[in-house]
Structure 1
Amino acid sequence: MFKRVLKNVVVSLSVLGFSASTAFAAFPDKDLTLVVPWSAGGGTDTIARALVKNAEKHIGVNVNVVNKIGGQGVVGMSSVKLARPDGYTVGLITFGLSTYELMGLSNLNYHDFKLLQLLNQSSTALSVKSDSKWKSLKDVMEFAKANPGQVTVGHTGAGVAWHLSIASLAEAYGIKFNFIPFDGAAPTSSALLGGHIDLAATGIDEVKQLREGGQLNVLAIDAVNTNPSFPDIPTYTDAGYKVGAPVLDWRGLALPKNVPADRVKFLEEGFKKMFDDPEFREFTKTVGLGLVYEDSKGFEDFLANMEKVLKPTLESVGLTKK
């Protein structure tokens, strides 16, 4: 008798437009977890913690950041894919998801997730020491053209956005650079300032303080338009070197697949409120981080196009799987 009554109640609620999960379980009734696939203190971790700082104000509970590192981000993002699809685990997914399959590093790709939103896109900055003989991107390109393999370019790892951005530029203009990988933007910048490399390819936000301190000059950025925070720095095209679509680093939010639709909607709205929070936006402006919002559909379209852009670039540097 009780089972029949309960069933009738559920059916009635369904007719009224409520799901069983909405009717019988408040969501969220405990804190959420945001998985960051990179180490604490890095750029991705920093933006994650700033984003969820005021989460309770917007969704009624806290969002706890958990760092799960390893495998160039594969470990953390895989843990999100395999998490229980109840809406309590959110993942901060990053650029590597656009290259893993193409490079043969993992079968993980954006189709494995329910996308929530794009958070930001960051442009590559090409920097030299402030006392460098090169004062423009043209200076570098002309010297590199005349002296194949002599210009050393530091970056933060084979296949990352910064590496692929300048590799794309080199491929388009028949330039041969000598690429040298480092474990992060800090050691890359240190190598540049120490005179161990000629050129550094990093995120524009990662060299903001060094530029403001007069220690290095940013010659150009890989972007469609100039960065509002750095209006005096030309894009590749502005500097005279037009390439295809820019190779942009990116970060976004995603869920495991099959999270109930009502919970997905709640999280979409809640994280958008966090994204729009004045304190978060002021923080990102201060550190020079470019915010770019796309909803789940726009995010999916962006990622599909990224794969088309990256495939020929990865092939040009010999990084596609055999």
Structure 2
Amino acid sequence: MSKSIKVNRRSVLAGSAALGAAAVLPGAVFAAGYPSRPVTVVVPWGAGGGTDATGRMIAALLEKKLGGSFNVVNRTGGSGVVGHSAIANAKPDGYTIGLVTVEITMMHHVGLTDLTAEDYTPLGLMNADSPGVTVSSKSDYQDIASLAEAIKASEPGTFKASGTGQGGIWHLALIGWLLSMGLAPNHVTWVPSEGAAPALQDLVAGGIDLVTVSLAETKAMVDAGRAVNLGLMADERVGSHPDVPTLKEAGEEFSLATWRGVCGPKDMDAAAAAAVSAALSEISTDPEFVEFMNGRGFGIKYLAPDAHAQMMAQTDSVMADALAAAGLAKG
């Protein structure tokens, strides 16, 4: 693969944090009379999963903040296309909103849909989870800088990594990191897996050299002393794992996250959008929400609407490069 493909080295969350903080309302000023009837909250993924659980908690807290009913509806299928389409194609009157996930920046690049992040009204980012770089406790590399330098100095295919299927978000995270180091996207061989658990089993058995999955997914192996988290592809360290440094601390300018945000259809009613956005700002620091997210190992990352939109656009650029490099982009 040609090295002319360049990853956007700016963090997909960098620069947004300051904008997000500046745009937080000094107190929720809610629209009088909204909602006057039940609001549908679309979740594009199945019941029982992380996005579903997060969506139901947000809906419950929106009810407390705004009154009225916020009813979660799971619209699954098409690798996320069905649910994301249901949000984008709803009437923009404020009575259908939903959780838009990182897949909206990926699906159109692989030909699944024409939808992009521009088809929504961003109301607030609520969660972001960056992948870590994890090795076996028996690995020769016990810090991210030495691992990165070894990868750069190695022949293609020397190192093997896993964490998800081919073209999944954690695979694209590895590709983005490799591109940012000036390496070919396949310089580290990707071994597809059915998820984090089997990948970590392969890691500790010595079948692969590193995994790129969320820190929450590595907890059991790390706590058992069988794996070590060397670094995090994030702008800053996270409270749940304060001892894990970012790649940036080792001079590696790359970060990425899988995320969940609340959006409405494009051109959503301005008063309703303002009311929901103000409520989400308060929810992001609500003790009930914080306890819920921390208890499940989900990272809380709030961005106000303008910063939320900026972050989605930046993620789209990174995903475009990574998917093209992986040979998965269409057209």
**TM-score (normalised: structure 1):** 0.81
Partner of 1:17: none
Alignment of 1:1-322 (within 5 A): 26-141=33-148, 144=151, 145-171=153-179, 172-174=181-183, 176-193=187-204, 195-240=206-251, 242-244=252-254, 246-322=255-331
Q: Distance between the aligned counterparts of 2:324 and 2:221, measured in 1?
A: 33
- CA, structure 1 residues 195+42, in 2 after alignment: closer, same or farther (shift >3 Å)? farther
Return the letter of the residue paired with 2:110: M
1:29–1:61 CA contact under 8 A, matched in 2: yes
Structure 1 residues 5-39: Cα deviation after superposition (integer angstroms, max 9, x where no partner): xxxxxxxxxxxxxxxxx89xx43244332222122
Q: Distance between the aligned counterparts of 1:53 and 1:182, measured in 2?
A: 35
Partner of 2:25: none
**TM-score (normalised: structure 2):** 0.79
Partner of 2:17: none
- CA, structure 1 residues 59+215, in 2 after alignment: closer, same or farther (shift >3 Å)? farther
Return the letter of the residue paired with 2:192: P
1:161–1:247 CA contact under 8 A, matched in 2: no
- Higher helix proportion: 1
Shift of 1:209: 4.1
Q: Secondary structure of the residue that 2:172 maps to in structure 1?
A: helix
Two-structure CA RMSD over aligned residues (Å): 2.6
Return the letter of the residue paired with 1:208: K
Out of 40-49 and 219-228, give the one that drifted further: 40-49
Please identify runs of 4+ aligned residues in structure 1 that moved more than 6 A. Answer: none
Identity %: 34
Q: Which runs of no fewer than 5 residues in structure 2 stay unpaired?
A: 1-30
1:96–1:160 CA contact under 8 A, matched in 2: no
- CA, structure 1 residues 56+304, in 2 after alignment: closer, same or farther (shift >3 Å)? closer
Q: Secondary structure of the residue that 2:284 maps to in structure 1?
A: helix
Return the letter of the residue paired with 1:218: N
- The one of the two structures with greater contact order (alpha-carbon pairs below 8 A, sep at least 6) is 2
Q: Secondary structure of the residue that 1:297 maps to in structure 2?
A: helix
- CA, structure 1 residues 69+132, in 2 after alignment: closer, same or farther (shift >3 Å)? farther
Shift of 1:141: 4.0
Q: Distance between the aligned counterparts of 1:162 and 1:273, measured in 2?
A: 31
Q: Secondary structure of the residue that 1:302 maps to in structure 2?
A: helix
1:52–1:274 CA contact under 8 A, matched in 2: no
Return the letter of the residue paired with 2:68: V
Return the letter of the residue paired with 2:281: K
Structure 1 residues 252-286: Cα deviation after superposition (integer angstroms, max 9, x where no partner): 11112343222222222233333332111122233
Structure showing greater radius of gyration is 1
Shift of 1:116: 0.8
Partner of 1:6: none
Q: Secondary structure of the residue that 2:276 maps to in structure 1?
A: helix
